[in-house]
């Protein structure tokens, strides 16, 4: 008999962890009564609820008079006639308060050096950088592409853009030259902010060279300026007239710069993410709504207190690094840790050692990181959480992908010592901040469940026609009403925005998250079951299958056809599996291995190393219906290593299935 425990713990989860009485008492949103009261307020007067929160949590230079404009749905507008500045809300507002000389950022470099920056010092740095941008002719409305390591300077660059009303677009440092070029063109950026190199795991990796390569691919004539942070002493290529080091750019610039007030709907940033077609989507966020939600969810989800030391391990290249590194902690006046390196260098105890070193009290990371650290900790006591003093911790968080109950329990016991609530926060690049999450002083926790929507977030599970499904049955996750931090449009493609997120079959106003979900029969708790579109989640990184397919078939000398699917993976959540038809027939043995390597390197060059397929399978064809449609469900079964039990009678070429069995 097989052991049913693993399967059962996923399907039925009976463990419940109530918040302690002391936690409930001290919490900002106290107990389920506190939560229910806020939900009732939102239900009774939706706009009044948001208006109150926006007045209490954002400093407006000019107050708004209208809360929500739905006249051109789904192009919603929030607080439209209000004016503010995001950087003012993160920095200036703390001046003259006890936060002025509080540490804003504890930066720990890859190699271990620590530097601390107060709010006052950070304001000076941001202002000085903003002046440098202005002196290069960069102004309100311009787009600035940021391709930086995970350093304080990356946050400074983002805040400086916000200060002058320029719209930033951060591209994760792991993306390729080609990916960078596409994003520069799509955004119409006028400048790139980068570094000569980045340090990761003791290695010096090029950044500026990749920018140069991206710009040389053509179509990037809009770029007039490249600012280069000298992260390491190693020289890099500099183009006269276009490129400037940070030292040169900052020389002589004043450390004061008046923030430029912008309308609440002014685009604060564009962040590219993967969708179900080959072309990444430039998700556009608005200043007012984003700042409100970043600040408020720091207070609600993390129940932030004045003496907390907050640490979100996400890179600024992802939305988590926008909301919970670059803006939220600063808007909330927190002390935060920013970490440049990787969790396994110099050893896999780095996170735990850093929690001890900096007395971190709120720790927010991804399930992938937890799963890989479990593996290391279980085989080496020196890097086990028990080897560090983690008594400063009071709240743990998880983000980016479903957390399996086993990993949840390990995190709860070994890191949180059974006293720290885990907030499993479900959200997306498009939602701008948390949507469904427990509240540490209110919500009873169930491992593997993100529990309940935040007050004002009208999440539901529906069928294809938009009708609610009963608790216990699966369906599609939607949000029925707009919320302030939501995506405003896809940059330059409003039609794609409408078609991707607001399906006409559901009435055109429900936001479709793209995830499947189910609510528990007893508590109505949400559990996310995974994407329902052609989007994969690999180590918490979002990848479109079509994007990888396009990259593979672009290798025209080798590849005739390719199909990409995901398969479950214990460590990375999902793994990328590519089925490839070569122009030269089916390779075997060492030759197949060599070609598989060649294709992986190619995908790394086209998109980035994060998009490299884990498995590559070769066949002389792909399984297709008689009408020529690739049967992806069969490919998914093959990728999982399952024997094919589906009906294959509609298949044009059933013999192909056995050929595609071997993974390289
Ligand atoms: C997709 C969004 C959330 C910011 C970082 C990722 C998955 C995210 C959870 C969670 C289950 C989750 C979803 C979502 N996801 N958080 N707590 N439980 N799934 O943002 O790159 O836009 O990806 O990540 O599938 O749609 P993203």
Structure tokens at 458: 């009208």
pLDDT (0 to 100) of residue 651? 81
Question: 397 alpha carbon to ligand 1 midpoint, in Å?
Answer: 13
Write the residue with the smallest CA distance to atom 13 of ligand 1: 401
Q: Say how far residue 295 (Cα) sits from the centre of its chain.
A: 17
Residue 214 near residue 220, CB atoms below 8 Å: yes
pLDDT (0 to 100) of residue 230? 98
627 compared with 205, residue with greater pLDDT: 205
User: What's the mean pLDDT in 615-641?
Assistant: 91
Write the residue with the smallest CA distance to atom 17 of ligand 1: 426
pLDDT (0 to 100) of residue 582? 97
Residue 519 near residue 472, CB atoms below 8 Å: yes
- How many other CB atoms sit within 10 Å of the CB of residue 616? 26
Question: Peptide bond preceding 446: is omega within 30 degrees of 0, i.e. cis?
Answer: no
Structural domains of the chain, ranges and CATH numbers in brackets: 535-660 (3.30.300.30)
Binding positions for Mg(2+): 553, 559
Instruction: Supply the DSSP string of 273-286, one letter for each residue.
Output: E--SSSSPEEEEEE
pLDDT (0 to 100) of residue 650? 78
Cα-based angle 474, 476, 480 (whole degrees, multiple of 5): 125
pLDDT over threshold 70, residue 4: no
Q: Which ligand 1 atom minimizes the distance to the CA of 426?
A: 17
> Per mean pLDDT, which of 420-434, 620-634, 646-660 is the most reliable?
420-434
* 3-class DSSP state of 504: helix
pLDDT (0 to 100) of residue 6? 35
Residue 80 near residue 66, CB atoms below 8 Å: yes
| Ligand 1 neighbours by CB, cut-off 6 Å | 273, 318-320, 399-402, 424-429, 450, 513-515, 528, 531, 537, 542
Write the residue with the smallest CA distance to atom 18 of ligand 1: 402
User: What's the mean pLDDT in 495-522?
Assistant: 97
Residue 510 near residue 500, CB atoms below 8 Å: no
Give per-residue pLDDT as tens, 524-535: 999 999 999 999
Phi and psi, residue 42, nearest 5°: -65, -35
Ligand 1 pocket mutation, candidates 542, 543, 610, criterion most atoms within 8 A of CB = 542
Q: From residue 563, how far is each of 250, 433, 621 by CA, in Å?
A: 48, 33, 11
pLDDT, the chain, mean: 95
Binding positions: 200-203, 320, 400-402, 424-429, 515, 531, 539, 542, 553, 559
Write the residue with the smallest CA distance to atom 8 of ligand 1: 400
Q: Which ligand 1 atom minimizes the distance to the CA of 429?
A: 22
CA distance linking residue 414 with residue 409, whole number of Å: 8
pLDDT (0 to 100) of residue 9? 38
Ligand 1 pocket mutation, candidates 364, 404, 427, criterion most atoms within 8 A of CB = 427
Give per-residue pLDDT as tens, 314-354: 999 999 999 999 999 999 999 999 999 999 999 999 999 99
User: What's the mean pLDDT in 190-214?
Assistant: 98
pLDDT band at 55 (very low <50, low <70, confident <90, very high): very high
Write the residue with the smallest CA distance to atom 14 of ligand 1: 428
Question: 98 alpha carbon to ligand 1 midpoint, in Å?
Answer: 36
User: What's the mean pLDDT in 464-490?
Assistant: 97
User: What's the mean pLDDT in 129-156?
Assistant: 98
Question: 435 alpha carbon to ligand 1 midpoint, in Å?
Answer: 10
Q: What is the dihedral of CA 36, 40, 41, 47, to 10 degrees?
A: 130
pLDDT over threshold 90, residue 523: yes
pLDDT (0 to 100) of residue 11? 54
User: What's the mean pLDDT in 400-426?
Assistant: 97
Q: Which residues contact 337 (CB under 8 A, 6 or more apart)?
A: 105, 106, 107, 108, 309, 310, 311, 354, 358, 360
Write the residue with the smallest CA distance to atom 5 of ligand 1: 400
Question: 278 alpha carbon to ligand 1 midpoint, in Å?
Answer: 20
Residue 204 near residue 232, CB atoms below 8 Å: yes
Name which of 507, 504, 511, 466 is nearest 487 in CA terms.
511
Binding positions for CoA: 200-203, 320, 539
Rounded percentage of the chain residues whose pLDDT exceeds 90: 91
CA distance linking residue 117 with residue 370, whole number of Å: 29
């Amino acid at each position: 008999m097989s052991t049913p425990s693993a399967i059962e713990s996923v399907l039925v989860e009976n463990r419940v962890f109530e918040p302690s009485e002391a936690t409930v008492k001290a919490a900002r949103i106290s107990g389920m009564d506190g939560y229910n009261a806020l939900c009732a307020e939102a239900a009774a007067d939706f706009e009044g609820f948001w208006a109150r929160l926006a007045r209490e949590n954002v400093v407006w230079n000019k107050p708004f008079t209208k809360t929500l404009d739905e006249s051109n749905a789904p192009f919603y507008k929030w607080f439209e006639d209000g004016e503010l500045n995001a950087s003012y809300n993160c920095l200036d507002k703390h001046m003259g308060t006890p936060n002025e000389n509080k540490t804003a950022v504890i930066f720990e470099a890859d190699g271990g050096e620590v530097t601390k920056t107060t709010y006052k010092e950070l304001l000076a740095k941001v202002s000085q950088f903003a002046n440098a941008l202005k002196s290069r002719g960069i102004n309100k409305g311009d787009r600035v592409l940021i391709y930086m390591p995970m350093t304080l300077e990356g946050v400074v660059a983002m805040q400086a853009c916000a200060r002058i009303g320029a719209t930033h677009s951060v591209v994760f440092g792991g993306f390729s030259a080609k990916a960078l070029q596409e994003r520069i063109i799509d955004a119409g950026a006028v400048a790139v902010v980068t570094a000569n190199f980045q340090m990761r795991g003791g290695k010096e990796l090029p950044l500026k060279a990749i920018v140069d390569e991206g710009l040389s691919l053509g179509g990037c004539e809009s770029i007039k300026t490249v600012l280069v942070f000298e992260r390491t002493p190693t020289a890099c290529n500099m183009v006269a007239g276009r490129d400037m080091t940070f030292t040169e750019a900052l020389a002589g610039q004043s450390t004061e710069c008046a923030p430029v007030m912008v309308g609440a709907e002014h685009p604060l940033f564009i962040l590219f993410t993967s969708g179900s077609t080959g072309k990444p989507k430039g998700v556009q966020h608005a200043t007012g709504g984003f700042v409100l939600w970043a600040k408020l969810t720091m207070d609600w989800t993390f129940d932030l207190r004045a003496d907390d030391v907050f640490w979100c391990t996400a890179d600024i290249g992802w939305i988590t690094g926008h909301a919970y590194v670059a803006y939220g902690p600063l808007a909330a006046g927190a002390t935060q840790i920013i970490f440049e390196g990787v969790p396994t260098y110099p050893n896999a105890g780095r996170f735990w050692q850093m929690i001890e070193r900096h007395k971190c009290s709120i720790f927010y990371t991804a399930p992938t990181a937890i799963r890989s650290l479990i593996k290391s900790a279980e085989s080496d006591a020196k890097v086990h959480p028990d080897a560090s003093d983690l008594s400063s911790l009071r709240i743990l968080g998880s983000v980016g992908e479903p957390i399996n109950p086993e990993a949840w329990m390990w995190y709860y016991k070994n890191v949180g010592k059974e006293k720290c609530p885990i907030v499993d926060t479900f959200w997306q690049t498009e939602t701008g901040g948390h949507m469904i999450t427990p509240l540490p002083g209110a919500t009873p926790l169930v491992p593997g469940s993100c529990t309940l929507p935040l007050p004002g977030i009208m999440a539901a599970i529906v069928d294809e026609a938009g009708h609610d499904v009963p608790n216990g049955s699966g369906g599609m996750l939607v949000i029925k009403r707009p919320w302030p931090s939501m995506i405003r449009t896809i940059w330059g493609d409003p039609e794609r925005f409408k078609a991707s997120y607001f399906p006409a079959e559901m009435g055109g106003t429900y936001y479709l998250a793209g995830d499947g979900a189910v609510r528990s029969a007893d508590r109505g708790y949400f559990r996310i079951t995974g994407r329902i579109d052609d989007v994969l989640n690999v180590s918490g990184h979002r990848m479109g299958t079509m994007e990888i397919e396009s990259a593979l078939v672009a290798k025209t000398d080798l590849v005739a056809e390719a199909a990409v699917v995901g398969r479950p993976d214990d460590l990375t959540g999902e793994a990328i599996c590519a089925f490839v038809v070569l122009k030269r027939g089916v390779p075997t043995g060492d030759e197949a291995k060599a070609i598989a390597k060649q294709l992986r390197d190619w995908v790394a060059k086209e998109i980035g190393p994060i998009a490299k397929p884990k498995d590559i399978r070769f066949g002389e064809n792909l399984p297709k219906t008689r009408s020529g449609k690739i049967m992806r469900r069969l490919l998914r079964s093959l990728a999982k290593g399952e024997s094919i039990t589906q009906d294959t009678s509609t298949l044009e070429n059933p013999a192909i299935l056995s050929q595609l069995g071997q993974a390289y």
